[in-house]
Amino acid sequence: MFSSDHYVAVIKWKRGERTALEHLTPTIKSRITPLLEIQPVPYNHRTENFTKTIDEHLANIGKDLKNCWKSTAPVFVDSAPIYDNEDFEDDYLSTGQHPLEFIIDSIENEGNQTIPVTGTARDASYQSAVYNVVQKFQRGICIRIHEEQLDDITQLESDIDDLLSLAHVDKSETDIVIDFEQINPAKELAIYSQIINSLIQFPDINSWRTLTICATSIPKTFSTTIKKFSSGSVPRAEWNIFSKIMKTNLVRKPSFGDYTITNPNFVNLEPWLLNKIISSLKYTCDNEYWVHRGDLTGNGFSCMRNICVAVVSDPRFSGQNFSFGDSYIYNCANGGTTGNLEAWVVAGINHHLTKVASDLASLSLSSSTGLPPTLAPQV
């Protein structure tokens, strides 16, 4: 389906992330496979109730994807994060249908293609839903493997074989995503060695339809390392590791995956905390995440003007024509709207997706020709 120059982006299924996808160019979209994590049903902390039923929460998912993706390429769909809020207990829709089946039916009915995501430890009802959609649409499955499972490759191989038998698919119909989630940049060398060893030992490595390594260096919060009204950086360790992997002589080199500019963990904020969120911009550079933090206290997002001026005047700025997100940053720096919380999520993620897809194209060219990674995205 795709090779090592392709990008698997884990997308939390929220409006800002959808808008970031929508504003990608067709060229960039062709280099990306989103792995959609369906988010939990919204919760009202004041009333201690969920604000929607699961039916209402999922009602427009097919149309929403059609509107933002506009591509014939398939997407991975993982519905397990719906239950990241442990208080949510509705396992099925009011019709008795499993959420995964409903989501995939909705997306497929709108003309987009889907591949269900599962794991070896998911419950029987989830695996039954996976089997049902595999039989219905015949697109295979994606298996998400986590770091701790790599400690016992023999057990992992047995668990995967059991799952393939249960889903009635073979390895050539299976996408593998090895997900390290959040990694510590200080342990970059150790993680690189761990990944290399895992790829060397991974069972039947050439038999899988695709193979992806996924990770992020983005922490849960920057509040302890970057003060308000200041900027700082976090090493883009997952990219640095992948760049090194591409220089090896592995039998099979993986594709690259990350969590865009978000942390893997689900954050369940109370409404009053939204008023205390610090305005920020996370800007992906060649080897680092450049993070700018402001303050919303009584000033709305006016502080974003100075942040954007600092970004566009720096050599690390990719240029106003690089992506929709970069254009938004440039316009803000030059007197345009200072936006809102969602707008800056869109700008940062849209820039990041474009940056990673472009970096992968450049890295692939560099690996095969010896040329430096200078290939720019096509817009």
**Span 53-61, mean pLDDT?**
94
Quote the CA–CA distance of 232 and 245 in Å, as a whole number: 27
Mean pLDDT across the stretch 190-218? 97
Q: How many CA atoms within 13 Å lie on the side-chain side of 277?
A: 18
Within a domain: 330: no
State the pLDDT confidence band at 229, using cuts at 50, 70 and 90. confident
pLDDT at site 369: 42
What integer pLDDT is reported at residue 298 of this predicted model? 53
What mean pLDDT is reported for the chain? 90
Lowest pLDDT segment from 212-216, 228-232, 256-260, 299-303: 299-303
pLDDT one-digit tens code per residue, 84-132: 876 777 789 999 999 999 999 999 999 999 999 999 999 999 999 999 9
For residue 311, is it within any domain?
A: no
Specify the pLDDT at position 99.
Answer: 96
Residue with tokens 């869109």: 346
In a domain, 282, yes or no: no
Question: Strand, coil or helix: what is 83?
Answer: helix
At 270 the pLDDT is 58
* Best mean pLDDT range from 68-72, 314-318, 360-364: 314-318
85-117 per-residue burial string, b: 16 or more CB within 10 A, e: under 16: eeeeeeeebeeebbbbbbbbbbbbeeebebbbb
Structure-model confidence comparison of residues 280 and 99, the more confident one = 99
Q: Determine the pLDDT at residue 277.
A: 58
pTM above 0.95, yes or no: no
- Check residue 268 and give its pLDDT: 67
Is 259 contained in some domain? yes
More confident residue, 321 or 363: 321
Torsion sign, CA atoms 367, 372, 373, 376: negative
Number of domains the chain contains: 1
DSSP assignment, residue 185? Answer: G
Long-range pairs for 157-163: beta carbons < 8 A, 24 or more residues apart: 157/203, 159/120, 159/121, 160/120, 160/203, 162/120, 163/118, 163/120, 163/127
Q: What are phi and psi of 135, to 5 degrees?
A: -65, -35
Inside any domain, residue 370: no
Mean pLDDT of the 243-265 span = 96
Q: Examine residue 12 and state whether it is found in any structural domain, yes or no.
A: yes
Is the pLDDT at 44 greater than 80? The verdict is no
pLDDT > 90 fraction of the chain, expressed in percent and rounded: 78
Structural domain of residue 244, as residue ranges? Answer: 7-268
| % of the chain at pLDDT higher than 70 | 91
User: Does 97 fall in a domain?
Assistant: yes
* CB-based contacts of 149, cutoff 8 Å, min separation 6: 120, 155, 156, 159
- Determine the average pLDDT of the residues in 203-223: 95
Helix (H) or strand (E) holding 117, with range, is strand 114-118
Q: How far is CA 37 from the centre of its chain?
A: 8
Domain membership of residue 31 (yes or no) is yes
pLDDT of residue 379: 33
Q: Which pLDDT score, from 0 to 100, does residue 370 have?
A: 38
What is the tens place of the pLDDT at every residue in 20-29?
A: 999 999 999 9
pLDDT at 377 over 60: no
Specify whether the CB–CB gap between 11 and 263 falls below 8 A: no
CATH number at residue 245: 3.20.20
Mean pLDDT for 298-318 is 90
Which of 40-49, 58-67, 229-238, 332-341 has the lowest average pLDDT?
40-49
CA distance 170 to 200: 21
258 pLDDT higher than 80: yes
